[in-house]
Homo-oligomer: A and B are copies of this chain.
Amino acid sequence: MGSSFGTLFRISTFGESHGIGVGVVIDGCPARLPLDVSEIQAELDRRRPGQSKITTQRKESDTAEILSGVQDGLTLGTPISILVRNADHRSRDYDEMQSKYRPSHADFAYDQKYGIRAWSGGGRASARETIGRVAAGAIAKKILATFGVEVIAYVETIQNLRATIDPNTVTQAAVEANIVRCPDSAQAEVMITLIEKVRKDGNSIGGVIGAVARGVPAGWGEPVFDKLEADLARAMLSLPACKGFEIGGGFGMTERLGTEVNDPFMADENGQVTTSSNFSGGIQGGISNGMPITLRLAFKPTATVMHEQPTVTTEHENTTLQGRGRHDPCVLPRAVPMVEAMFALTLVDHALRQRAQRLI
């Protein structure tokens, strides 16, 4: 239980990392939306392994097949099911996982919960599960575009390297201009060098992903528990390796005075209301206020490292585990499309919810 997300635009993902395949069922997509499988594939290509020298070198084509819900290039309003079959991954590199718990992985917790675990490749806890999210997110983005909404995520820091990025102006093109997906091109080069070094050391590093949604009209978000920032926080913390969430001024606001971080409203000659600062991050009282929605997300270093680490066996005896095979030294470049997907999925659900409740 727990593999579904959304109230009106609702996705359900399925699939283990080394099983037959992974995928998603999307229920609640409006009818008559133009949709081609290539649009989904484009997003999947942004998240697939092996896309550059700084991600894991596993090669997977991750080819999407639409099983239902689309006819002659238009959505039918019925569930859209998308399947990506897995290549055969059962390698010897994973054998030791059957009898030993990898530190800071989900192996132990799954065994405690279910009494069984898909030990090969991390099963459902693998980042491979996010394929369904990214596929659904591609559709969510298309719907948001009809509202004039654009969602962009980007790498803001890698370890202690901090990029300079203006969320009000950053473009998708600038994000995609380099393999680390940091729109500060100078800092991107330094980041890439650092990630390569960490990979050679068999270690891993994390960082912060920033994200912005521009064009969101005022009025989305449902007080008091389904506040827009609450649902965004849930969406992001459901991503593998995400350990922190900030909206607007975030933790930094805790060291400032109220007079410093209040966002004064101001009106232009057309009666259009904006705020002169945006510490609120585009959401007040759980409802969008028309300003850009700005998030910052902490991604920890990936747990897989090529070092020997102390751990326990499935029989609960102390042992050590030596990391082997390929590993992803830094998850952030591939996490950028995952963040965009969860951002878009949350927004589109609230867009539909808001539309439902206005009397004509």
With beta carbons under 8 angstroms apart, the residue of B204, B205, B244, B262 that contacts A245 is B244
B-binding segment of A9-17, A39-47, A54-62, A166-174: A9-17
Cβ < 8 Å to B, chain A residues 44-91: 65-69, 71, 74-81, 83
Please name all residues of chain B whose beta carbon is closer than 8 Å to the beta carbon of A76 when the two chains form the complex: 16, 114, 116-118, 123-124
Please name all residues of chain B whose beta carbon is closer than 8 Å to the beta carbon of A3 when the two chains form the complex: 25, 27, 78-79, 223-225
Chain A: number of interface residues, binned into ranges: 35 or more
Q: How far is the CA of A125 from the CA of B285 in the complex (A)?
A: 6
Nearest B residue to A350 via CB reads B2
Kindly state whether residue A101 has any CB partner on chain B within 8 Å.
yes
Kindly state whether residue A215 has any CB partner on chain B within 8 Å.
no
Please name all residues of chain B whose beta carbon is closer than 8 Å to the beta carbon of A5 when the two chains form the complex: 225
Q: How far is the CB of A265 from chain B (nearest CB, A)?
A: 4
The main secondary structure of chain A at its interface with chain B is mixed
With beta carbons under 8 angstroms apart, the residue of B234, B244, B301 that contacts A258 is B301
- Is there an interface contact between B244 and A237, defined as CB atoms closer than 8 Å? no
- Is there an interface contact between A4 and B27, defined as CB atoms closer than 8 Å? yes
Kindly state whether residue A358 has any CB partner on chain B within 8 Å.
yes
- Is there an interface contact between A2 and B226, defined as CB atoms closer than 8 Å? yes
With beta carbons under 8 angstroms apart, the residue of B28, B32, B231 that contacts A234 is B231
- Is there an interface contact between A112 and B218, defined as CB atoms closer than 8 Å? yes
- Return the 9 tightest CB-CB contacts between A and B, nearest first: A106-B285, A2-B222, A2-B226, A204-B258, A356-B356, A234-B234, A112-B218, A109-B287, A258-B301
